[in-house]
Amino acid sequence: MLFKQQALLRQKLFLLGSLAIGSLLYLVARVGSLDRLQPLCPIDGRFGPRGQDEIPLRALQFKRGLLHEFRKGNATKEQIRLHNLVQQLPKAIIIGVRKGGTRALLEMLNLHPAVVKASQEIHFFDNDENYAKGIEWYRKKMPFSYPHQITIEKSPAYFITEEVPERIYKMNSSIKLLIIVREPTTRAISDYTQVLEGKERKNKTYYKFEKLAIDPNTCEVNTKYKAVRTSIYTKHLERWLKYFPIEQFHIVDGDRLITEPLPELQLVEKFLNLPPRISQYNLYFNATRGFYCLRFNIVFNKCLAGSKGRIHPEVDTSVITKLRKFFHPFNQKFYQITGRTFNWP
């Protein structure tokens, strides 16, 4: 009898405990949901007086729910009108450079409540077939956003494609342009590494980096190799400066974005005339990945794809020295034009 009573008591205590834990979890979730949905993020300055043009904080529930449905095309016109959402042309574009950290920069800027990113590279201005489809086709590739949010897209091929500066100028002559760069030799090797991985997945052979980067006939740097050409930043920037003043460009240090992202992001916030919203809370170092990951709130975290941070192959030190010597005068000119100096060898 006593044994049955003890068993019954334990069962009741277990049920009470379960109910208490369930209630606590519900309250935490409810409070978190309300916290995400209710606060407003005032965007000062260019976004109008406080109270008139306030932008709701992009809550996890909204960001991954309603906007996801819009992107899939499942939303009705009434839902779009009700939430006052639009697809607008970008007010800023990350134009390059390839393997400089464009994806990391875009994802990190997306932490800001006034920034909405295009999920995929659109390749509108560098692709003749896409460009022929017209500006409305481009607009429809943009995410839904509030009117006073900034839409940003990134297509790193824009920086090196000859026709792009004029095409973007015709769309918006006052657009803000972001260029993220890394030490040129490191960037070239990273570029090679990505192509090499693609070849290996298809069981194809590929030349060693040294053979591509150095002309075997002259033993000098092979400027016909695309990975080398892309790293001559000043040559490409000079073409852009025929259409846009240097004040419309912001140079991001891609090497620093890896090791110390917050100061770089704060500089971008200032360039885009955004109130400071990204903080150290939003960035945490993942020791396993060796990179900073993103924290949107207490529930939602995100790390970059596993393909980021590939291990570079061993490259002959004499080739690295030759490349750095080759890039040096171009780097000095790049510092002079942009007003930003990097500690590149």
pLDDT interval class at 328 (50, 70, 90): very high
Euclidean distance between CA atoms 208 and 195, whole angstroms: 11
Residue 69 burial (10 A CB sphere; 0-12, 13-18, 19+): middle
| Residue 292 annotated as binding site | yes
Return the amino acid letter for 149: Q
- pLDDT at residue 45 is higher than 80: no
The pLDDT value recorded for residue 148 is: 86
| Residue 199 annotated as binding site | no
Angle, nearest 10°, between helix axes 317-338 and 184-201?
120
Read off the pLDDT of residues 249-303 as tens digits, 9 standing for 90 and up: 999 999 999 999 999 999 999 999 999 999 999 999 888 777 899 998 877 888 8
Q: What are the phi and psi torsion angles at 150 (to 5°)?
A: -100, 125
Euclidean distance between CA atoms 111 and 71, whole angstroms: 19
Number of H helices, E strands in the chain: 15, 12
Output DSSP code: residue 275.
P
pTM, rounded to two decimals: 0.78
Long-range contacts of 279-282 (CB under 8 A, 24+ apart): 282/111
Q: Which CATH architecture has domain 74-338?
A: 3-Layer(aba) Sandwich (3.40)
pLDDT interval class at 3 (50, 70, 90): very low
Give the lowest-confidence range in 50-59, 172-181, 236-245. Answer: 50-59
CA distances from 68 to 27, 38, 71, 139, 344 (A): 26, 20, 5, 17, 42
| Residue 22 annotated as binding site | no
| Residue 99 annotated as binding site | yes
- pLDDT at residue 93 is higher than 50: yes
More confident residue, 191 or 311: 191
Angle, nearest 10°, between helix axes 233-240 and 317-338?
30
The pLDDT value recorded for residue 61 is: 39
| Residue 251 annotated as binding site | no
The pLDDT value recorded for residue 71 is: 53
Q: Are strands 40-41 and 249-253 parallel, antiparallel or unpaired?
A: unpaired
The pLDDT value recorded for residue 320 is: 97
Show me where the domains of the chain are located: 74-338
Read off the pLDDT of residues 123-181 as tens digits, 9 standing for 90 and up: 999 999 999 999 999 999 999 999 989 999 999 999 999 999 999 999 999 999 999 99
Euclidean distance between CA atoms 191 and 320, whole angstroms: 14
If you search the block for the tokens 């409305």, which residue do you land on? 136
| Residue 339 annotated as binding site | no
Burial 29-38 (b: 16+ CB within 10 A, else e): eeebeeebee
Mean pLDDT of the chain: 83
- Establish whether 99 is a catalytic residue: yes
| Residue 335 annotated as binding site | no
Q: Please tell me which residue in 4, 63, 72, 99 is annotated as part of the active site.
A: 99
